[in-house]
Structure 1
Amino acid sequence: MRVYLTAARLSLRRHLAYRSSAAAGVATNTVFGFIRTFVLLALWRQKTVINGWDAADACTYSFLTQALIAPMGVFMTGTELGPRIRTGDVAVDLYRPVDFQSWWLALDAGRAVGSGMLRSLPPVLVGALFFPMALPLSPLRWAAFLLCCLVGYLVSFSLRYLISLVAFWTMDERGMAAITFAVGFFCSGMILPLTAMPPRLDSVLQLTPWAAVIQIPASVLFGTQSGGLAYALAFGLAWALLLLGAGRLLTGAARRKVVVQGG
């Protein structure tokens, strides 16, 4: 366990060093937060309350989800494993005396914490200056939200890890990452809150793993999640365990059957 904690700590330190990049990311997320908020407000003008959410909830959701983009890996661009498979440097990683999947989880966890520390709070604070916000005051509600974010992060990592492993067979995972991003961006609720979609479509999308990454944590924070915290955690953990298991099986297959680039 100590080696994984050390890997996560060093990864965190490395990502905290790129503060100019983080500042640019904050500016970008904030600008897109404004754009998304104006779009949602136009929708909410047609109907003041949609599935229990009012305009303030919509504004909060917009900036909250912008804050989650970096730490939750919403863009599904894989992990740092993908480029190392393409270059053949993964051979060194395969020889490390550690569990391969856990090693990359530790590195990505350090990245996620660093991104959260540098990029998450500023967009929400700026949004609160210009739009009505409905952030709850209950510490228990925030604790439940953070638990759901932790589970959602595991789902996100599992998906991105699977995407990265594709490079063992295709030599380039970026095509799969682009497809997964397009699907996941819609299914997670980043384009439009799932609660604002037609009921039948909402019911289907709420069953996808991407819902556990963005929509479900937000719904738990607002207190509108069907089934409450227990359902949210059970749903997310089920997907996380399933996807982590799939990643472990695929890792084993790659070790047995695949020749690393460069011999």
Structure 2
Amino acid sequence: MATAAGVFTNTVFGFIICYAFIALWDERPHLGGYDQAQALTFVWIGQALLAPVAIFGHGFGHELQERIRNGDVAIDLYRPVDFQLWWFASDLGRAGFELLGRGVVPMVAGALAFDLALPRSPLTWLWFLCATVLAVVLSFSLRYLVALTAFWLLDASGVFMISILLSMFFSGLSLPLNVFPGTFGDVVQWLPWAGMLQVPADVLVGRHAGVEVAGALAFQAAWAVVLLAAGRAVQAAATRKVVVQGG
């Protein structure tokens, strides 16, 4: 029921945002370098990837925070598996289910209702799938760092909320990052959040081709490696001494 409700919600919001974009692109036909069909495609990619990439921060983070708070994390650290890889595997399973369960239907609904700039080449879809997988890995690495702050904070809810706001804005979910002007527009496209939505969307609508696709995927992979390594370092620092809240 939760999945069905999520599909319905993503689809409804997709229609709402599309009509807002139609009004905007009627006034500025080539805003951000997109035509209207590409802009509408961007909307539905965002709705399709919203849950799999966990742009709103859902997933393992709150569970890990609670296990740190109540001390159950001590049991997790004794398990004969790598702590980071344990949560990574769990999040990959979640993302795979939500990509199929909540991503496909909104995208199909959008394609039936609007004129979208969907590629005909199977290779482009393959690159998009690769970019989506890397977006999930990148998202996990960011959310893992946020969750680890619970080792030092009694309540990491504030950090989670800040992380969600950053993800919504800098991923391109609110508005494609290409739309922002000047230096600010250039800078935001080099931040790690851009790899969560902006890069996969640009791959699918054809803004990256040939060598540029490899560069876009390398951008995602590089940030993922850096942030996973940072998560590993923070984990090592946090688990040297685990203090359960209250004693």
TM range (shorter): over 0.9
5+ residue gaps, structure 1, are: 1-19
Letter in 1 for 2:212: G
* Cα pair 2:29 2:35 within 8 Å, conserved: yes
SS in 2 for 1:190: coil
* Cα pair 1:72 1:156 within 8 Å, conserved: yes
Q: Which residue of 2 aligns with 1:85?
A: 68
SS in 1 for 2:116: coil
Between 50-59 and 178-187, report the one with greater CA deviation: 50-59
What TM-score, normalized to structure 1?
0.88
Identity %: 50
Letter in 1 for 2:226: L
* Cα pair 1:76 1:159 within 8 Å, conserved: no
Counterparts of 1:168 and 1:58, CA distance in 2:
41
Q: Which residue of 1 aligns with 2:44?
A: 63
* Cα pair 1:44 1:55 within 8 Å, conserved: yes
The equivalent position to 1:238 in structure 2, one of 214, 222, 227, is 222
Q: Which residue of 2 aligns with 1:17?
A: none
CA deviation vs aligned residue, 1:20-74 (integer Å, no higher than 9, x gap):
1000001111111111111111110112223431111111110111110111011
* Cα pair 2:41 2:205 within 8 Å, conserved: no
CA RMSD after TM alignment: 1.5
What TM-score, normalized to structure 2?
0.94
The aligned runs of 1:1-263 (5 Å cut-off) are 20-77=1-58, 79=61, 80-225=63-208, 228-261=212-245
* Cα pair 1:85 1:171 within 8 Å, conserved: no
| Residue 112 (structure 1) shift | 0.7
CA deviation vs aligned residue, 1:167-215 (integer Å, no higher than 9, x gap):
1110222210100111221110000011222143221110110000000
Q: Which residue of 2 aligns with 1:4?
A: none
5+ residue gaps, structure 2, are: none
SS in 1 for 2:31: coil
SS in 2 for 1:259: coil
* Cα pair 2:51 2:99 within 8 Å, conserved: yes
Between 121-130 and 72-81, report the one with greater CA deviation: 72-81
Letter in 1 for 2:71: G
Between 41-50 and 63-72, report the one with greater CA deviation: 41-50
Letter in 2 for 1:243: L
Counterparts of 1:26 and 1:122, CA distance in 2:
7
| Residue 87 (structure 1) shift | 2.4
Letter in 2 for 1:87: N
SS in 2 for 1:121: helix
* Cα pair 2:65 2:147 within 8 Å, conserved: yes
Letter in 2 for 1:112: A
Counterparts of 2:108 and 2:182, CA distance in 1:
32
* Cα pair 2:32 2:180 within 8 Å, conserved: no
Counterparts of 1:204 and 1:211, CA distance in 2:
10
Counterparts of 2:202 and 2:73, CA distance in 1:
39
| Residue 262 (structure 1) shift | 5.7
SS in 1 for 2:81: coil
Between 137-146 and 52-61, report the one with greater CA deviation: 52-61
Counterparts of 1:149 and 1:110, CA distance in 2:
14
